[in-house]
Amino acid sequence: LISAETAIKVTSTAPLSGAAALTAEQTSVSLPSGGIQLVQKSEDEMTVEDIERRNRRLNGDEGVKKVLVVRVKDSQGRQVSGNHKTQSNKWFGTYGDQVTLKSQFDACSYGKYRVSNDYGDVPWKNKLSSPGVLEVTIPVSLSTSTQSQMRIAVAKEVQNTLGISLPGPFEHVAFVVQDCYSVGGDICGWSAYAYINHWLSVFIKDNWRYPAVTMHEMGHNLGLAHSGGLDGKTYTDHTCLMGNPLWEDDIAKMCFNPVKTFQLAKAGLGWYQSRHIQNFNSGTSPGTHWRGKIIGVADYTNNHGQHPLVIKLETGTPQDWFVGFNHKSGVNAEVPTAGDKVTIYQVAGTDGLGYSTSSLKATLTAGKQARLSNWRSTGYDLLIKVYDIDTADSPI
């Protein structure tokens, strides 16, 4: 067998064996304190434009995407460390940074999702402090304002400064503030948050510096949900940017798990061609099987054999299972968990086509297998077996 791919077999002929379940190895990474939060806007803080757009999809999920970073200073002079040039460099690579939000989105999407701070010939271009970065001062103190009050104040300053109604020409707008304060019942302890299928994200402290964190939040803007791990917790799938991602300035080479890859291919997002997705529908009779080779997302454009990226296991319910190969190479070279292993997931709903949490269920090396007991309530197990993994050569 050949590089960056693995040969697996999925079969529904294995008999039920009591409480047989997936065998999986536990893997963990150490992360700093803080989490990533999703929020929904309250009706009283929405502008007319917000209400019209809150459930909209972004303007397709491929092509050039204009992004604005808003560096916020409050009435007491509080603002994040660094400066506007640092932020422009870290998000867009304006001054030579090679590990950025822009570079990794381009890498994971293979040029389908191109983050840009080039807004063309706009009348407010000279209002920007650096390309892609606008600095504003809000007339309120962060320490005495709720998150809602802060967001409203920032939005007003942005709109007044640029003479537009947000989101204006932007697909994503990120507010970067010094910290979160527990005011009016707000709960802090998070590092960033974003709105689902929307344009807005918010970052505190130095979390804007980490490309994997900024990609995670914009993933929520794109409609991607969290990725849970083997321990059943919300953020602990470290094969995927939608788990708690890499908290590093200069480490970002990882992408999304097979559930999210399926969504990015099939749910109108257009990152990967649908022919690289393999559906396996066993039905409810024993004896069906699929056997073949799969590759990792790192080898998407080097796949002359046209092997699938993802195997979707149809359950007859919205809670389908997914199998992929987590090749630790290229665009995925710095993935911290289950590198060069076959990975198995289940999605909580939506058939993997919409916003729904995924959970890592097992990781397999060559010669190992996983058993999904009582598959589709048939009294039979579904067996997933890895025959070989070879990362030595280029896939064909």
pTM across the whole model: 0.86
What was the pLDDT predicted at 16?
A: 35
Least confident of 37-41, 103-107, 280-284: 37-41
pLDDT higher at 92 or 2: 92
Contacts of 243 (CB under 8 A, 6+ apart): 226, 227, 228, 229, 235, 236, 237
What was the pLDDT predicted at 10?
A: 65
What was the pLDDT predicted at 218?
A: 96
* pLDDT reading at 31 higher than 80: no
Residues 61-102 have pLDDT tens digits of: 678 999 999 999 999 999 999 999 999 999 999 999 999 999
Radius of gyration of the chain measured on its C-alpha atoms: 22
Most confident of 20-34, 104-118, 294-308: 104-118
Token pair listed for 227: 């990725």
Are residues 46 and 62 in contact, defined by beta-carbon separation less than 8 angstroms?
Answer: no
Residues 161-218 have pLDDT tens digits of: 999 999 999 999 999 999 999 999 999 989 999 999 999 999 999 999 999 999 999 9
What was the pLDDT predicted at 330?
A: 95
What was the pLDDT predicted at 270?
A: 87
Least confident of 45-59, 126-140, 333-347, 355-369: 45-59
pLDDT higher at 245 or 316: 316
Are residues 6 and 325 in contact, defined by beta-carbon separation less than 8 angstroms?
Answer: yes
Count of alpha carbons within 13 angstroms of residue 195, beta-carbon side: 24
Token pair listed for 284: 């409810």
What was the pLDDT predicted at 244?
A: 78
Three-state secondary structure of 152-211: HHHHHHHHHHHCCCCCCCCCEEEEEECCCCCCCCCCCCEEEEECCCCCEEEEECCHHHCH
Contacts of 77 (CB under 8 A, 6+ apart): none
pLDDT higher at 301 or 47: 301
Average pLDDT, the chain: 87
